Chains A and B, each alone.
Chain A
Amino acid sequence: MAYTQSIKRTAPSGKRNADGWKMLIMVGSLAATLGGWGILATGQTQSAALSTTTTASSANISSAGTQQTFSQFSAPAIQFSSIARTRSSR
């Protein structure tokens, strides 16, 4: 008898009881939330990476008595990336 009940809990027919659906929804919600934050975190990471790794090609020029370096780069593909950051003077 106990063995039979155990087989039923595995839902061989593919149907789920109410508790099973609740659990599935909870797990799905958690995964979606974590996934959303993951996307945000990825955006922030790429934003930080953009400012340090965007150099595709460079050339040195002399201007105003100092050495300058051009950096060719692309507009951010991830919308969360920024081209510039406003901050107090520094």
Chain B
Amino acid sequence: MQRLDFRAMGCQMLAVVDSDEANAIDALAQVPTWFEEWEASLSRFRPESELNQLNAAPDRAVRVSATLWQVLQESLSAARASAGLVTPAVLDAVQAAGYDRSFELLDARESDGAESMLVADWRAIKFDPDAQTVRLPRGVRLDFGGIAKGWAADEAARRLSAYAPALIDAGGDIAVSGAMASGARWPIAVTDPMQPDRDLALLMIGADAVATSGRDYRRWQHNGKAAHHIIDPRTGQPAVTDVLTATVIAPTTRKAEVAAKVALILGSDQGWRWIEARGELAGLLVLEDGQVIRSQRLDDYVWSESIALFENSVLPGLAMSD
């Protein structure tokens, strides 16, 4: 088994192949290059990125690369699936909340400026599949955020799977190409946001992916008030929610990323119901007061011996039926 740690997209990345063969190691060495290419296209923090060029050309049909096209289609699918709670047309609102530069560059984690910005309607984005062109109406600017990371994790794992079973950890959003070479599932821990050096549970992930969305890390002071990077499109401001972190297991990393964000924005009650209503999802919510809520399907993934680590968690459905 070989691993490669590197930084990309403002996050710590990990790539693993379950093989010591030379061709698998060669492929592993290519992963940072793939992420560099994707970041050059998709980042809002790089002035010359393809995304920024698109954002700077309103009301014009712009031909885009296959990468940007795929991520845009994924983000629009997410907007449809989440009734607009996760939308790519959120850039102005994110910047208005103070997240106007790379997180590492936010001065002393403080910013000032406008209080909020209404989120543009993603349905106004026009595109032509045949010509692979995108037309952004004036006032609509895109930020792919976590979806780009999730897409990149899925794509890198898919590419590596040609050589060996693989795992990609893109800043906490984790894709696997399937089971490990032994046939066993990959052991993946859920970090406790209250004590980041400890784990809440150990998940066994084989054919699925897992992602966590949270307001425990990327947060700052904006105009003297606490702010974070997850915008509620209904208000144009950082989501007001009792959920500190949401971890979701889904068939793909990009779906897990979107679902985790939806659960966080909706809050514990609606967010838990949203997860339970979708048979392909399982989830774990950590609330601001430290309470842990898990969906019933999560037990299919939790290594039984690690249940003790979150023995105080709540299955709301069972609790409500008492």
Contact = CB atoms under 8 A, between A and B. Distances in A.
B191 interface: yes
Contacts of B190: 85-86
A89 B11 contact: yes
B320 to A, nearest CB: 27
A82 B262 CA distance: 27
Interface in B93-140: none
Contacts of B212: 86-88
| Residue among B25, B36, B146, B187 with the highest chain A CB neighbour number at 10 A | B187
Q: Name, among A47, A64, A70, the residue most crowded by chain B CB atoms within 10 Å (CB to CB).
A: A64
Contacts, number: 136
B4 A82 contact: no
A73 B217 contact: no
Interface in A5-46: 40, 44
A68 B32 contact: yes
Contacts of A82: 187-189, 199, 202
B75 interface: no
A63 B35 CA distance: 11
Contact of A47 (B16, B199, B245): B199
A41 B213 CA distance: 28
A71 B186 CA distance: 18
Contact of A87 (B1, B2, B25, B172): B172
A85 B167 contact: no
Interface string A66-78: 1011111111100
B43 to A, nearest CB: 14
Given A68-B6, A82-B202, A83-B187, A89 B174 contact: no
A1 B12 CA distance: 78
Q: How large is the interface on B (under 10, 10 to 19, 20 to 34, 35 or more residues)?
A: 35 or more
A2 interface: no
Contacts of B146: 89
Interface in A49-67: 54, 61, 63-66
B70 interface: no
Interface in B168-190: 169, 171-174, 180, 182, 184, 186-190
A80 B306 contact: yes
B210 A88 contact: no
Contacts of B207: none
B196 interface: yes
Contact of A84 (B7, B11, B186, B214): B186
Contacts of A90: 11-12, 171-172, 217-218
Interface string B1-34: 1111111001110101010100001001110110
Contacts of A75: 1, 18, 180, 182, 184
A83 B243 CA distance: 26
B305 interface: yes
A86 B173 contact: yes
A89 B199 CA distance: 16
A63 B34 CA distance: 10
B173 A89 contact: yes
A72 B196 CA distance: 25
A79 interface: yes
B32 A85 contact: no
A78 to B, nearest CB: 10
Contacts of B54: none
B305 A79 contact: yes
A86 B1 contact: no
Contact of A89 (B4, B193, B218): B218
Nearest to B247: A86
10 contacts: A69-B4, A72-B20, A79-B303, A80-B187, A81-B187, A82-B188, A83-B186, A85-B189, A86-B203, A89-B217
Interface of A: 40, 44, 47-48, 54, 61, 63-66, 68-76, 79-90
